[in-house]
Amino acid sequence: MGTAIAYTELGGPEVLTVIDIDVPAPGPGEVAVRVEAVGVNPLDLKLRAGLRPSPPITEPRRVGSDAAGVVTAVGDGVEGYRPGDAVIVTGAQGAYATDLVVPAAHVVRRPEGVSAAQGAALGIPVGTAYQTVRSLAIGPDDTVLVHAASGSVGQAVVQFARLYGATVLGTTSDRRADGYRAGCRSRRNSALPARRGRSR
């Protein structure tokens, strides 16, 4: 038995409640994870508040798609994971929970030095950044200007663009400029502090 966060009506954070859930054993190709941290994504808020269309609520609707934790069991046919492995989970349903069972394809090993909180926050921002950089086919001949480069999506865009050889310029607020500069380890990258209040 585990617990999860769910809601049965649309509204603000006050509609969220804790419910008991059954935690099944992982089936073939699945991994069970004890959750240590979850990612809070804008889509969660939009769906819960009714700002984005969704089907009628007929039973408690669970929240969240990204998490990080430790593998507790693996199903038949799963290779590369074993109980005790620290992992990141993306694309799950109902990740705001103590325990998850997900397809192994939704799990990646969490690198040493990456905390559970950091790992859980990667899914949406990093996925968005990767999709952006790849869809634009950014490469060594490109110079990329990233607005809000110190934000979660912006930081990931900067790193992917650098990985593919582009020259990267980034804007950031005065408050975050020093942190952004510290993260730029290449002479091909610059920080351009935005006017106060113009960038978050």
Report the 10 Å Cβ neighbour count for 144. 21
**What confidence category does residue 198 fall into, taking pLDDT thresholds of 50, 70 and 90?**
very low
Supply the pLDDT for residue 41.
87
Q: How far apart are CA 127 and CA 156, in angstroms?
A: 9
Tell me the whole-structure pTM to 2 decimals: 0.76
Supply the pLDDT for residue 188.
43
Supply the pLDDT for residue 184.
66
Residue among 172, 150, 169, 151 at smallest CA distance from 161: 169
List all residues 6 or more positions away from 159 whose beta carbon is below 8 Å from its beta carbon. Answer: 129
pLDDT tens readout for residues 131-176: 999 999 999 999 999 999 988 899 899 999 999 999 999 999 888 8
Q: How far apart are CA 74 and CA 76, in angstroms?
A: 7
Q: Which domains does the chain have, with CATH numbers?
A: 2-120 (3.90.180.10), 123-193 (3.40.50.720)
Average pLDDT over residues 63-69: 96
From residue 141, alpha-carbon distances to 87, 118, 158 in Å are 35, 32, 15
Angle, vertex CA 145, rays to CA 141 and CA 150, nearest 5: 130
